[in-house]
Amino acid sequence: MSHEIFMPALSSTMTEGKIVSWTKATGDKVDKGETVVVVESDKADMDVESFYDGYLAAILVGDGEVAPVGSTIALLAETEADIPEVQKQAQQQSSSASPAPAATPATPEPAPVAAATSQNGSGGRSSGRTVASPRARKLAKELNVELSNLQGSGPYGRIVAEDVQQAAGQPVSAPTVTPVMPAAPAAAPVPMTAATTAPAPSPAPAITPGQVVPFNTLEGAVVRNMNASLSVPVFRVGYTITTDALDRLYKQIKSKGVTMTGLLAKAVAVTLMKHPRLYASYTEQGVRYNSSINVSVAVAMPDGGLITPVLQNADQVDIYSLSRRWKDLVARSRSKQLQPDEYNSGTFTLSNLGMFGVDRFDAILPPGQGSILAIGASRPQVVATDDGLMGVKRQMQVNISCDHRIIYGADAAAFLKDLAQLIETNPQSLTL
């Protein structure tokens, strides 16, 4: 007579999820494969689809509420006539059942809901389904706008709030997403200091002195991950890399849409091909050598926390496609539209604080990875040249943090040496 809708595991680190909004109301007909609820995981907002046809009989976890992964969040009746009986069942369940324990990050069985995984297509449709942001869905309900009639202007044709406002004849609010690549000052050179992996965070909201502000979902995930990371024995190795040749290359090809983040990720990926230990990961059984070089890059989120969009198979993708992919990933990460494999499949991580003028720093190792590379700003330095004279070269400091259970000092040093050689002597190869 009924089916349970569980809180799904939308990422490997997710232990609980927050209901952003129900797209169906009690009593509504639900088709198999239709979005029934939008869930905020620790990294993104995801449309969750029903595995069954039926009627939404009872919502057990309302908008804005949190539930553990694997717990029941709603009940679906098979027929409209079954709704009253299922609602009685829901009342009994809520009064007698104790809260469900948090499940492991595996998909619960049986899995009654599925996270939507495709956002391709025009007009905000994917496989016949309307794809819209949670805010757009909420506005559409308030303004009585039919989403299926709209042409989405968001990434991959996704319908965003501005599309709904325009359709309703309301003033369109200005977008709040910070630009991906802030412009350098007009008089400043454009080398590595303009090579940002993330824009500056938005100004912090006004707070009252003494106030305790709860962590948001993403910040809570960062706390858990960092606590786990600090239990790993880590060592760090630093290296100085001259960036003159890379800066010249960047100036030549940036007009074609190439980003410095793309260049750095490509350089790292190409170098990793010679050093499989550096993108391996630890298991209790031994070293897991990963089959793909997936470069994660840390991005600060406007409302707190950070996320690491992944440039998958970065060693195999040309620099122009890689840069386009990176811009798309950043845009969708800031509107919480990434799919799980776009932020949890990394095998090596970059963190770049050079945009803030930071000379050097150490990065904390992400859980499940063997290495993370911290990149500082590139600055003019007075150095001794090969002919014994003094000259000026642009140099940057990089520091790698490695899991000492599987990676040793010589491994890290060899990787940094090869990375420096590529950047200093043959960056043109990154465009081939």
Q: Which of 141, 324, 404, 405 is catalytic?
A: 404
β-bridge mates for residue 245, sequence order = none
pLDDT at 20: 87
Confidence of residue 395 (pLDDT cuts 50, 70, 90): very high
* Mean pLDDT confidence for 396-417: 97
pLDDT at 231: 85
Predicted TM-score (pTM) of this structure: 0.61
**Cα–Cα dist 119/104, whole Å:** 27
Which amino acid would we find at residue 245? A
Residue 46 has pLDDT above 70, yes or no: yes
pLDDT tens digits, one per residue of 281-291: 999 999 999 99
Peptide bond into 199 cis (omega under 30): no
pLDDT tens digits, one per residue of 211-240: 888 887 778 877 888 888 788 999 999 999
- Cα 7 from chain centroid? 20
Cβ contact 11:340 at 8 Å: yes
pLDDT at 174: 42
Q: Is 275 in the active site?
A: no
Confidence of residue 187 (pLDDT cuts 50, 70, 90): very low
Cβ contact 102:129 at 8 Å: no
The DSSP string of 18-68 is: EEEEESS-TT-EE-TT-EEEEEE-SS-EEEEEESS-EEEEEESS-TT-EEE
* Mean pLDDT confidence for 367-391: 92
